[in-house]
Structure 1
Amino acid sequence: MGIASTGISHAETGTRQSYDAIVIGGGFAGVTAARDLQAKGKRTLIIEARDRVGGRAWSTTFAGKTVELGATWIHPSQKLVWGEVQRLGIATVTDAHPEFVVASKEGGGYEQKEMAFLDQQSALLARFVEGSQEYLPRPYEPFHREDLLRELDKLTLGDRARQLRISALEQNWVSASTGAYGGGFDRGALTQLAHWWALSGYTADGYHAINSIRPVGGMSALLEKMLARSGAAVVKNAPVTKVVDNGSQVQVTAGGKVYTAPAVVVAVPANVWNTISFAPGLPAEFGRLASESVGVPTARKLMIEVQGDVGRPLVNGAGGDLLDMVIADTVKSARGSLLIGFSVNPQLDANSVSQVQTAIDQVLPGTKVLAVKGQNWGSDPYSKGGWTFRRPGQLLGGLRAVRQPHGRLVFAGSDIATGWAGYVDGAMETGVRAAGLVSELTA
């Protein structure tokens, strides 16, 4: 995973390398686990590969504004993260509604549509997940009706579209909310989309509302406050290369140093599990999930500064185009407007002004791109993918197995949440659970 310098920061300094618990990964899952372990009286160390905490949540600056290149939104229905925001006294802001929609037209290309078009789109989405109240009646217990899920979990989003005989045009109309989320119609599982739908209250309004509220100051500010209050020690710039469990202690090699603890929380994305040497080796389910990918491997998010006021568009990109979705940011820049773009197209260079200009010309003609700043999450060695979107067979396949302790190791992360997988709340869910399991292992 590479070698970099190591430094301990936050609540503890010095050279101690033996702890009551070690957490690998400083994202929301890892920080939540460390916070809870500290509260239980466990001296806890977080080891983070990057020079920042946050993982797939990354607040940065662009055009003089704080922007998000990773996780962005929270919602009151996501009880863990919403409760944390309330406890920390962090204000929230709700994104303004879009003013117009851009979507595919018959014969190719794009056209501007009235907002009423979203009713058509919502009806199509509801067809994809029809019956979810029966097969996912308890959204936080997704295995409850395994008998009804068994065949459905084999389906991709594309399989479902073909079952429904949705036209190519209609498929393009919902691509941004289905295929793009899944990394492509023939990658993502129908059951992942249905799970989000169920968690959102089985309605289109609920489903769209979950991506509308942000913590003021950004996701990174929220995480930093959690971390500061936790009292956990942190080592940054220390990629973990080896984890050895001898049955009573676990040795973690990171940044050229070895740290030990009676138990370890592995809170890194599933896609990177195979980049760490585990001894003894992990069960087959772990390697299979990592090689199949859980986080979308071609996920890209980018900020786009454009000239002037372009209003508040909601662009639904056609499957296979360079940009899958474009929305207006909540703030303006000094030179014009800020747009947020999402893409799962491996051909897109998320930092190329000329390439992004070509893509914007298709959907918002006459709009001049001034600057871009993006993140290709698949090329990030410490994530190897973006937001969580399970593949067919993963819900009923390896998910339960990887949530169980393996020796003195407990795994966490949004990828293996049984609630809001793909969201900060899901990461926190697994962090809370991991802390509880570690406490049992070290009692």
Structure 2
Amino acid sequence: MASTHRTTRTSSSDPLLESVRGACLDISRDEVNKLNAVLDWAAAHTAGDTEAAELHDWNDEPPLQLAGAGAPVVAEYAALDLALSIGRSSDSGLAYLGKALELRYRLPRIYARVVKLEIPVWLAFRVAEQTRPLPMEGAAAVDKALAAFLHGCAFTQIDRAVDAARDEHDPLEAERRRQAAAEGRHADVYLDGVSTSGTVEVSATLDLADALDLEAALKSGAQQLADLGSTETLNVRRSQALGEMGRHQLALDLNSTPGSGRGVTLYVHLDAEAADRPGFVDNTWSPVLLEQIRQWCQTAGTKMTVKPVIDLNSNLSTEAYRPTEAIREQVRLRDGTCVFPGCHRRHVDLDHIIPFDAGGPTSVENLAMLCRRHHRAKTHGTWRYRVVEPGLYEWTSPTGITYLVDRRRRRP
């Protein structure tokens, strides 16, 4: 059982410490005020299941069930405006709104203690994240079990309370989650965190059999590198072996034939007038040391292609609706990711800013990268944007708020 220790509000003999305590209390009040302001907004922009169809044309603006069963739904494009107004990206803002709705409508006991500043918002949100998939009865059981002592609860106790409610109130979901545990497997390459040395972090969760095979392959590959004369440490050789596996797609063959190597295109920029300066990798918006570029170029099997410099100021165009590959490449290099405020998704569509059927050309200056969600918000909603100059976009929300998104070339 968690400790039920609470700090009473008495004055400290140290005025500086008292100032710290006062600032923390002010932050807690601000968080609760923000939560309630969001809930007030939600009350004006959400609807229950029976009235949702009367509020919105869901064919144009999809409803979002951001909290669990019994909580109201919200209109997607209006919620994007809210997300930016609280200083968050679309995904982060929708997640915040979902937890706020979950807390208010399905965890009323915990919410009441949050309003009294007895439980911090972040801790209540931790519970709300967990209870969202539960039926109303399950969320109520968690609310009742945790409300009295959540202020002193460990995360493991929250997890156990949610698991117990799920087992009792939704056994089918409990079994489904057990079966779906294997779907949590993943392999991530963190290209957003490239260092100047040219290294990145990689993490993965694998099936045990796959993990054993991978370990055997890394062990064998590292040993082969040592047998071929490598003097690198074991950890370095294992990382190099993993790279070889990536280049050769599931087959680790260090005696590769020339020309069968890397299939990834790196856009690396070098300054001819400052040969000692680091280069710049356009793919990841990160600097890279010259020595690392030399090693990449000298790696066996690497194919180098020297291409003409792409002038990002040129306005390539075509008469067709679909852009040419040269246009696509130039837009990708200019924008990098989705150009909606706060969004950094790389899986995107190329959007005609002025629609093609309204006379908008298929040109570099009239195309921009938008992820599918924000493409729909622009096409079917009332979000609008315009080009101030190439790479600088001004967005206008449904309520008239404007945001500038700057994707003009910048170097570290």
Give the structure-1-normalised TM-score: 0.21
TM-score normalized with structure 2 length: 0.22
Q: Which is greater in Rg?
A: 2
Identify which of structures 1 and 2 has the higher relative contact order when contacts are C-alpha pairs closer than 8 Å and 6+ apart: 1
